[in-house]
């Protein structure tokens, strides 16, 4: 049934959504808190600053008044003196101070809080001023000789007032009265209105922020709820829903990515369904394939249960045992295997111990086929819960393998005969050298006797004899070279390893290789510095290796190319690379490159690289190569760095 695909439209979100409250409440709380704290700090700072400034002003006016008024006049004032000239004189002085200082009232009083002078005239001389009791703490400081100010207080008219007090002293410094200066604090009404306005602005801002936050949250929550609904439908296997957010922001991109993901899920689901069908079909095929595979295995397989009864047997087991499955199944393994009785012990050991039995090879006497070799091993069989339910034995007829091993032993003996052949080749080399000398002598004599006729031509018979003598000498030289290299390969000389200058060895090899035909357009890069550490090698044999590699590189490059020689120390190994820019080694020749007598060069013996590889192995190292067709070849020599060996080393 094809999967459904539909578009999920944006749904109306529920107001009391968890995401909404998680988003809006902290946001509103943070904004209101910031506004409230900033307003409170501003209001408090402004109020304190204005109050402090007003206190300093009132104290200054009270102190000025105490110094202006004559103490002798104050001492003469008595109740009922309101109409005297002395009282009016004092009021005139106070009036000047009030006008200059812009204060509301100035009054003088004694320790009993009774009025001595009241500039407003609202209280008579000797009348008790009850408002002074409110500032009892401040007046206590005044009577101790300090000028102070009162706290703000609200009068009967609803306005805020503040008073400043200073002591009035006589000529001897005794405090005879107190001076009070009162002022109306109109700015507090302004501050109060500011505070109410700020609270209103804060509430209005909070409401506006709430509205904006609600709209913003809805614009975010609604697409998320749409995606959530689509995801729930996808999880409920209701098809492959897509979303259409119609937005040009990150949420719109998220919707596009969601739709793309749904398309990928649809594609992968179809692929998985097809793979499931294929795997189910394959499982149905493999259900019977295991039996077919068991029948096709060339090794014999026997299965037994915990009672030691044979439960399965493949055709190879029937063939090796010479018994049919009918005579084996459901029978105890002990006594059922005929001439292959050694298998019984291996199988029963695994059944009783639950341990795997290692591979064992045993000879058996088969009356019909003679002596045979059987190799077998056994392993326990466990079910899905890991409980042992039996054992299985795998065995094979090794008679042919044993015969092959005997053949290998015979080949080893033949190798010994090869060494004898090398000795014979050594004996051949001496007379061959004599034959070569005689051939060269014959060639010179024939050349010296060859006369020419009147036209300057060599007679035909003598010319043929001269050419034959040259061919004879060339073939003798080739045979001598072959015998020499065969002797080197068959009986490698003793290595005398010593610390040697690698740069000198490379220079010597290059000098020897140059006369062999190095083209002028072949560039040689010898990158080994003169200060390179000495290496533990046989200098003569190692030079033979380098000479062979360099000559091969020259011959591979032809008339033009670049030869590079590099060396480095890597993890206590000397690594030397000889690289060329030739055509590289073809893929069909790479696995034969170190085989004796394999060569692609005309007139070559095929022993150069084989000898070089044996010399490097004699040093305890390795000779490998890296190549690519058309990319050149690099031969890599690796030799371990160790102390020089005192005794000669024989290359095997």
In order, the DSSP letters of 383-400 are -TTS-EEEEEEEEEE-HH
pLDDT reading at 451 higher than 60: no
Choice between 130 and 502, residue whose per-residue pLDDT is larger = 502
Residue 575 confidence class, pLDDT cut points 50, 70, 90: very high
Identify whether the C-beta of residue 356 lies closer than 8 Å to the C-beta of residue 378.
yes
Residue 167 confidence class, pLDDT cut points 50, 70, 90: very high
Mean pLDDT of the 205-231 span: 73
Q: Is the pTM of this model over 0.75?
A: no
Interior angle at CA 448, CA 445 and CA 450, nearest 5 = 105
Give the whole-angstrom CA distance, residue 328 versus residue 339.
Answer: 14
Mean pLDDT of the 341-369 span: 78
Instruction: Share the mean pLDDT of the chain.
Output: 76
Give the whole-angstrom CA distance, residue 275 versus residue 103.
Answer: 99
Segment among 411-425, 515-529, 635-649 with least mean pLDDT? 411-425
Residue 55 confidence class, pLDDT cut points 50, 70, 90: confident
Angle (deg, nearest 10), helices 186-235 and 250-296: 30
Q: 153-154 and 300-305: which strand pairing? A: unpaired
Give me the pLDDT at residue 598, please.
Answer: 64
Identify whether the C-beta of residue 209 lies closer than 8 Å to the C-beta of residue 90.
no
Give me the pLDDT at residue 414, please.
Answer: 44
Give me the pLDDT at residue 381, please.
Answer: 85
39-191 and 493-650 in the same fold = no
Give me the pLDDT at residue 576, please.
Answer: 93
Q: Helix H segments across 236-340? A: 250-296, 315-321
pLDDT reading at 577 higher than 90: yes
Give the whole-angstrom CA distance, residue 546 versus residue 553.
Answer: 10
Q: 521-526 and 560-569: which strand pairing? A: parallel
Residue 531 confidence class, pLDDT cut points 50, 70, 90: confident
Give me the pLDDT at residue 432, please.
Answer: 62
Give me the pLDDT at residue 566, please.
Answer: 93
pLDDT reading at 200 higher than 50: yes
Give me the pLDDT at residue 645, please.
Answer: 39
Give me the pLDDT at residue 636, please.
Answer: 93
CATH code of 493-650, in short, is 3.30.565.10
Give me the pLDDT at residue 323, please.
Answer: 79
pLDDT per residue over 378-390, tens digit each? Answer: 888 887 777 888 8
Give me the pLDDT at residue 16, please.
Answer: 42
Q: 632-640 and 573-580: which strand pairing? A: antiparallel
Give which of 113, 104, 117, 112 is closest to 68, Cα–Cα.
117
Choice between 417 and 170, residue whose per-residue pLDDT is larger = 170
pLDDT reading at 337 higher than 80: no
Give me the pLDDT at residue 567, please.
Answer: 92
Cα separations in angstroms, 379 against 295, 316, 394, 437, 604? 19, 18, 9, 72, 55
Domain 39-191, architecture per CATH: 2-Layer Sandwich (3.30)
Mean pLDDT of the 55-82 span: 86
Task: For domain 297-397, say whether CATH 1.20.120.520 is its number.
Answer: no
Q: Where are the domains of the chain?
A: 39-191, 297-397, 404-451+458-487, 493-650
pLDDT reading at 350 higher than 90: no
Give which of 303, 358, 354, 355 is closest to 333, Cα–Cα.
303
């Amino acid at each position: 049934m094809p999967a459904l695909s539909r578009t999920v439209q944006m749904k109306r979100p529920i107001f009391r959504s968890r995401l909404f409250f998680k988003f809006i409440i902290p946001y509103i709380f943070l904004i209101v808190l910031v506004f409230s704290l900033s307003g409170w700090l501003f209001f408090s700072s402004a109020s304190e600053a204005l109050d402090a400034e007003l206190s300093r002003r009132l104290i200054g006016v009270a102190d000025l008044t105490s110094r202006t008024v004559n103490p002798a006049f104050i001492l003469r004032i008595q109740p009922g003196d309101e109409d005297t000239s002395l009282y009016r004189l004092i009021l005139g002085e106070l009036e000047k101070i009030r006008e200059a200082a812009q204060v509301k009232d100035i009054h003088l009083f004694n320790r009993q809080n009774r009025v001595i002078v009241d500039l407003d005239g609202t209280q008579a001389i000797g009348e008790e001023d009850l408002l002074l009791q409110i500032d009892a703490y401040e007046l206590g400081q005044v009577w101790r000789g300090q000028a102070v100010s009162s706290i703000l207080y609200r009068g009967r008219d609803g306005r805020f007032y503040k008073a400043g007090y200073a002591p009035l002293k006589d000529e001897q410094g005794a405090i005879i009265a107190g001076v009070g200066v009162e002022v109306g604090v109109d700015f507090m009404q302004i501050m109060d209105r500011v505070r109410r306005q700020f609270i209103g602005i804060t509430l209005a801002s909070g409401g506006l922020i709430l509205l904006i936050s609600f709209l913003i949250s809805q614009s975010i929550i609604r697409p998320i709820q749409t995606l959530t609904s689509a995801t729930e439908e996808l999880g409920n296997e209701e098809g492959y829903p897509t979303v259409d957010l119609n937005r040009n922001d990150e949420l719109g991109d998220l919707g596009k990515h969601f739709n793309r993901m749904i398309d990928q899920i649809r594609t992968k689901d179809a692929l998985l369904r097809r793979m499931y069908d294929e795997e189910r079909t394959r499982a149905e095929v493999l259900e019977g394939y295991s039996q077919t595979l068991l029948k096709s295995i060339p090794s014999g397989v026997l299965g037994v249960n915990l009672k030691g009864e044979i439960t399965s047997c493949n055709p190879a087991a029937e063939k090796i045992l010479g018994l049919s499955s009918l005579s084996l199944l459901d029978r105890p393994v002990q006594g059922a295997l005929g001439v292959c009785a050694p298998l019984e012990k291996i199988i029963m050991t695994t059944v009783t111990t639950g341990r795997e039995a290692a591979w064992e090879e045993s000879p058996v006497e088969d009356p019909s086929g003679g002596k045979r070799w059987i190799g077998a091993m056994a392993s326990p069989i466990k079910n899905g819960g890991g409980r042992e339910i039996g054992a299985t034995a795998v065995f094979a007829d090794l008679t042919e393998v044993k015969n092959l091993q005997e053949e290998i032993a015979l080949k080893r003996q033949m190798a010994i005969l090869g060494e004898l052949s090398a000795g014979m080749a050594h004996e051949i080399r001496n007379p061959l050298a004599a034959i070569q000398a005689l051939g060269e002598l014959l060639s010179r004599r024939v050349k010296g006797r060859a006369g020419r006729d009147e036209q300057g031509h060599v007679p035909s018979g003598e010319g043929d004899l001269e050419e034959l003598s040259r061919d004879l000498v060339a073939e003798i030289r080739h045979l001598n070279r072959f015998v020499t290299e065969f002797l080197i390969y068959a009986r490698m000389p003793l290595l005398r390893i010593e610390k040697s200058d690698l740069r000198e060895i490379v220079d010597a090899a290059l000098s020897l290789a140059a006369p062999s035909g190095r083209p002028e357009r072949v560039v040689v890069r010898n990158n080994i510095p003169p200060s390179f550490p000495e290496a533990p090698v046989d200098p003569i044999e190692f030079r033979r290796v380098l000479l062979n590699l360099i000559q091969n590189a020259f011959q591979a490059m032809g008339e033009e190319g670049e030869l590079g020689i590099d060396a480095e120390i890597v993890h206590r190994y000397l690594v030397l690379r000889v690289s060329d820019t030739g055509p590289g080694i073809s893929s069909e020749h790479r696995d034969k490159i170190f085989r004796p007598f394999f060569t692609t060069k005309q007139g070559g013996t095929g022993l150069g690289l084989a000898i070089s590889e044996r010399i490097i192995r004699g040093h305890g190292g390795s000779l490998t190569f890296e190549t690519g067709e058309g990319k050149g070849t690099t031969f890599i020599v690796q030799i371990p760095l160790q102390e020089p060996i005192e005794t000669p080393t024989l290359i095997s």
